Every structure is written in C-alpha cells, then in structure tokens.
Amino acid sequence: MELISSTKTFGGWLKRYKHESLSVKGDMTFAIYLPPQAENQAVPVVYWLSGLTCTDENFIQKAGAFKKAAELGLAIVCPDTSPRGTDYPEEHDSYDFGSGAGFYVNATVDPYRHSYHMYDYVVQELPHLVEEHFPVTQKRSISGHSMGGHGALICALKNPGCYQSVSAFAPISNPTQCPWGHKAFKGYLGEDQATWEEWDASLLVANAKEKLPLLVDQGEADDFLVEQLKPEALEAACLAADHPLTLRRQPGYDHSYYFIASFIDDHLEHHASALK
C-alpha cells in the first residue's frame, strides 16, 4: 500500500492509502480513521459506503464523525465508490452511472464486468486488507448514504454473520423500482430484470437468513425521496418478513451531508453497542 496522507485528529489518525486491487483490476483509494485506542489494542471497524459522485473524501471531510469515533474507540474505513482509471464507453458521461457510481454490485455485462466488482471489493478484499495491515479486530459494521446506503443494506442482508450491525442514511431502498436503479442495473447486470433482484434490499429482506436490525434515517425534505429512495418499500418488506427496522423520518432534512452530520453520532453509537 502507498500512504497518500496522514493527519492527526481527536487523538487518532486519519490516513489515506492507494493500493492495487484484485477485485477491480486496478488501483483503489481508501481512507481509514484509527482512534486513539488503536495505539494500544485492536479496535472494531465501521465501513462507510458513500453515494453517487462521491469518493472516499466526502465522508471524512463533511460527516463530523471522528470525535464520536474517538470516544467510542471505533475505526472507520471509507472506500471509493467505483473503479478509477478505466475509460469504458459512457463511463464518464453521467453522474449516476459509471465513474463514481459503482452501486456496490458485481457487474456481469461487458465491458464493466472486467473491473466493476465493487461488491467483492467491499465485502471481501478491503476488509481482509484492513485486518491484515491495521490494529483492528474482525468485528465489522457497515453504514452508508444513498447509493452507499443501498450498498450497506445489501452487503449485510447477503452476508449473515459478516457484520455486527448495519445502518443507512437515505438509502436507495428499492432500486429495481426507481430510475437510478434501472439505469445502473441495466448497464452493469443486463436486460434480465430477474438478475437485478439479488441487489435490492427490499426484496432481499424476505429471505434474509439473519434478522440483523436495520437503522435507517430519512430526511422528509429530501428531493429524491419519492422517485428514487422509496423507504416505504423497505418498511413494507420488513413488516411482512418480521424483520426489525427502525425507520426515522426526519422533518426538514434533505439529502446532504448536513443531514448526515446531524445524526452520525446516533449511528456510531448504534454500531458501537453491537460491536462491543
């Protein structure tokens, strides 16, 4: 791994690294916050998945999470949102597909199937890398925002026993039924919509082998709420499957990092409770 930067904050260290990824067949960048407790002992990890157009830097610069993470003794790992350095047709043409929009799936359609395996990267490769090179335990939790909220939910639902807890801010809850999901899934997975279903949290809930409680915050003033996010679909699915869900609808809040910063402490405490 190549160290890009190292900054001390709240007694711990925020570091950014670049490394060669086998999953995406190219270089990837991630950030890790190590709390002060990591100087003397291994600490648990919260993985944060960011949304459309983001990199690893959006969360570390805007969420205001490190004071609470230092208090709770949590490491936070922030991967990028897609492979970089490729130049496929249409890859850089829009904000909601291709570069910065990997959707945390394993692509099966040419040419994206050659490198857009963000699901494998997040679930398998990155945790193994982190656990090998940093003072962390194998206890993991996962969270994210928007596209990353979708990613956090599907990673937890598809991998029983892998995560101690899961949460999401304004997740794309039912991507098979929204424009963002249709565009991404068609481009990465092809025309057969039956193959899309294994990447939709609202559909995965019905057959989840582990009923890990879901914590979701959703701003009621979110411009994407009705057309793209569809929390009511996740709510209905959890009710039908008797899957524990805490869905907090927050009046006046939008889709921005101001919303995330307002409630990130609650989510970190949720994860700390499960991790410890």
Bridge partners, 30 (sequence order): 17, 79
Contact 70, 76 (CB under 8 A): no
In the residue annotation, 222 being an active-site residue is answered as yes
Q: Would you state the structure tokens that stand for residue 239, as one six-digit string? A: 């009710």
Q: Exactly one of 115, 143, 222, 267 is catalytic; name it.
A: 222
3-state secondary structure of 207: helix
In the residue annotation, 255 being an active-site residue is answered as yes
Q: In terms of Cα–Cα distance, which of 93, 153, 91, 151 is closest to 121?
A: 151
In angstroms, the CA 181 to CA 149 distance is 13
3-state secondary structure of 255: coil
Q: Exactly one of 50, 82, 141, 146 is catalytic; name it.
A: 146
In the residue annotation, 115 being an active-site residue is answered as no
In angstroms, the CA 112 to CA 108 distance is 7
Q: Would you state the structure tokens that stand for residue 69, as one six-digit string? A: 């993470």
Q: Would you state the structure tokens that stand for residue 76, as one six-digit string? A: 């936070």
Listed in sequence order, the residues at least 6 apart from 195 whose beta carbon sits closer than 8 Å to its beta carbon are 108, 189
Residue showing tokens 């656990």: 131
Q: Exactly one of 255, 267, 270, 271 is catalytic; name it.
A: 255
3-state secondary structure of 19: strand
Contact 152, 167 (CB under 8 A): yes
Q: Which residues are catalytic?
A: 146, 222, 255
